[in-house]
Amino acid sequence: MNSGSVEISSSRERLLRSLRSEGILKTKGIEEALRKIHREDFLWSGDHATLAYLDEPVPLGETGQTISAPHMVVIMLEALDLYSGMKVLEIGTGSGYNAALIAQIVSDEVKEAMEPLVITVERDEKLVEFASRNIARVGLEKVVKVVHADGTLGYPERSETIAYDRIIVTAATPRVPYYLLKQLKANGIVIAPVGNLSFQTLTKIRRTLKQEDGKEREILEKEKLIECMFVPLIGEQGYRF
């Protein structure tokens, strides 16, 4: 290791320690993923690696988008309650960092999955290319599929077929889009920053399906986690500009 990488790995450890002592980082698998997947590998080219371990969002070049702050990423990962082998949909790929962390956690014991476990959807073509390169660089291209589409319609678009154990939206949305709830498995969890354009509440919804008189009834249990501020989810079932 050269002195630069020693410095980076000690600032990474410092951040992990502080997230742990604040009670934000709790799960071993998440901590291991944060050590394996390096945030500096997902910064825009030309940005200095020391930006990676400040607990702040980092802009992605001129795209107007950001990589979320590490504490927010960890709060979302903890709330998702991820296990090996789970199928996860992310809306808002950005740099690909969050998708790579999820992929690292769910592929831990299933190195040879037949199909990608993580589908991540991005509307900005430049970011689709950027994130795909980043994900390939960390060797997770077989686990993560990056899709260029309007994620407010789910993936496949407008499908009402159950497909995912977990769904995470990493952009501010006025409501949890309809198709995302439809694509969630029974006992599945969706996490999304729900609110207006200035601030949102990170919201966790668990979907339960019950059989009643031969019919399927859906129960959505909602939990409000924390106030937050994300860039907008722009699309048919999100914000329309």
Catalytic residues: 68
Taking the CA of residue 37 as centre, how many other CA atoms within 13 Å lie in the half-sphere pointing to its CB? Answer: 27
CB of 158 to ligand SAH, least distance (A): 13
| 94 scored as a contact of ligand SAH (CB under 6 A) | yes
Region 5-64 residues binding ligand SAH, contact defined as CB under 6 A: none
Give CA–CA dist 92/144, Å, rounded.
13
Contact 98, 168 (CB under 8 A): yes
Give CA–CA dist 188/185, Å, rounded.
5
- Of these, 70, 151, 154, 188, which contacts ligand SAH (CB under 6 A)? 151
Whether the upstream peptide bond of residue 156 has omega within 30° of 0, thus cis, is: yes
Binding piece for ligand SAH, criterion CB under 6 A, among 45-53, 120-128, 135-143, 182-190: 120-128
Contact 103, 130 (CB under 8 A): no
- Of these, 121, 181, 190, 205, which contacts ligand SAH (CB under 6 A)? 121
Region 158-197 residues binding ligand SAH, contact defined as CB under 6 A: 170-171
Q: Residue 235's closest CA among 162, 165, 180?
A: 180
The number of residues that bind ligand SAH (CB under 6 A) is 25
Region 55-74 residues binding ligand SAH, contact defined as CB under 6 A: 65-68
Return the number of the residue (2 or 64) whose C-beta is nearest ligand SAH.
64
Give CA–CA dist 20/22, Å, rounded.
5
Contact 70, 55 (CB under 8 A): yes
Return the number of the residue (107 or 152) whose C-beta is nearest ligand SAH.
152
| 97 scored as a contact of ligand SAH (CB under 6 A) | yes
- Of these, 8, 74, 92, 116, which contacts ligand SAH (CB under 6 A)? 92
Those residues with Cβ within 8 angstroms of residue 163's Cβ, 6 or more apart along the chain or in another chain: 87, 89, 183, 185
For binding to ligand SAH (CB under 6 A), which residues are involved?
65-68, 91-92, 94-95, 97-98, 121-124, 127, 150-152, 170-171, 231, 233-235, 238
